[in-house]
Amino acid sequence: MTVLRKYLLIFVLIAIISPSANAAIDIKVSDQPNDNGTSLAIDWKIPNLASGITQFGYSYILQRAEISEGPFEDVDPLADDIGTMVDSGLDHTSDYYYRIKIATDTGESYSSVEGPFSPRPNYFHSGRINVLIGILITGILVGLFILIGKRGGQLYMRPIAGLGAVDEAIGRATEMGKPILYSSGRGKMERPATIASMNILGSVIEKVAEYNTPFIFPNNDPVTMAVAQEVAYEGYMRAGHPDNYNPDNIFFVTDSQFGYAAAVDGIMLREKPATNLFFGTFEAESLILAETGNSIGAIQIAGTDSSIQMSFFVVACDYVLIGEELFAASGYLSQDPQVLGSLKGSDYTKLIIITLMIIGILMIIFGNHNVLDWLSIQ
């Protein structure tokens, strides 16, 4: 009788958490918010799941199919009675069906099929409202300062010693009757520092054209050379001396790093330029170029976006543009209201960000974390 009761109790337990009792399984599928339409959020509720796993060795696996009849493929095993997971890598043009497979040593059973569900792309990430606000503030400030500049307002920029010395360096070369050597380094045109160098070149060339100063620009990249030739030609046109433009003064040397350094050093030693201007992307050749220029007594002004190479320019050049001064140089030299307005707008945006950071730090110190949650990008 005792043995009979034992088997009867086991039978009752099996009946309670048996796979056949899958009608109690609840699956809810919804679109995953703030994504590009490639994922769905699945919530499940399975009574006695943990007991079934530990006592009888059942396994519960979420399955997915693109049609209700299948075939279904396994997505992930489930280990909790209640949970949520994200099924990613989906196609927003397709429908998906879900069910839960309950596997035992003797066979498998399945919950009811739920679907169809289709992920939807979200065009706005609600967790990045702070980024949107930042973009709007920056755009408004930049537009406002550009408008002020175009209407004749004064857009103050702090004096930058290296850029203030450009006129002096060009004048020195003109008085000595020696050339100016310009280099944008080894960067291709997609590099921000090379683009900034071309902007600076436009302002330098106008003064070179006005004084009819000899100008040499050896290049490491043929595309950069072509762009530099166009920038130089426009500079001569703006200065009113297009006949003095000579495209042969801007030429391609080699795309080899140290071959380029050797070629430029050779030009320095032969031509003895009075001024060397190094603006752009530089690597290990920076010190080689700067030391050679220093040895011939040229006044040297340099700027790069590499903090490592900047240190080499500091020890061998007369003036060095630090950090963002390289990107501000074109506006500083040309006094273009659009460039100056963009710089002023970005500077004020940085001031606002720094202010918010200080406020956030103070609020965190005093136990309020709301600002931290808002400032963090989700």
The type of residue at 211 is Y
Mean pLDDT for the chain overall: 84
Q: Order of strands, edge to edge, in the sheet holding 40-45?
A: 26-31, 40-45, 82-87
Residue type, 318: D
User: What pLDDT does 176 receive?
Assistant: 92
How far, in Å, CA of 255 to CA of 276, rounded?
A: 20
Type of residue found at 116? P
Torsion of CA 316, 163, 187, 183, to 10 degrees: -60
Residues in Cβ contact with 208 at an 8 Å cutoff, skipping those fewer than 6 apart: 170, 180, 215, 235
Please tell me whether the overall predicted TM-score, pTM, comes out greater than 0.85 for this model. Answer: no
pLDDT tens digits, 240-271: 888 889 999 999 999 899 999 999 999 999 99
CB atoms within 10 A of CB 261: 24
CB neighbourhood size of 84 (10 A) = 11
Question: What's the pLDDT tens digit per position in 294-348?
Answer: 999 999 999 888 888 888 899 999 999 887 788 777 777 777 788 788 888 888 8
pLDDT at 377: 46
Q: Name the β-bridge partners of 267.
A: none
Distance CA 103, CA 100 (A): 10
Distance CA 150, CA 146 (A): 6
pLDDT of residue 336: 75
Residue 102: predicted pLDDT: 85
Indicate the residue type of 132.
L
**Is the CB of residue 26 less than 8 Å from the CB of residue 115?**
no
The answer to whether 81 and 45 have CB atoms below 8 angstroms apart is: yes
Amino acid (one-letter) located at 242: P
Distance in angstroms (rounded) separating the CA atoms of residues 375 and 364? 12
Question: What pLDDT does 372 receive?
Answer: 58
- Domains parsed from the chain with CATH numbers: 21-117 (2.60.40.10), 155-335 (3.40.50.1220)
Q: Which residue has the tokens 């796979």?
A: 19
Q: Which residues, given as ranges, of the chain have pLDDT below 50?
A: 1, 6-21, 23, 377-378
- At residue 9, the pLDDT reads 44
pLDDT at 370: 65
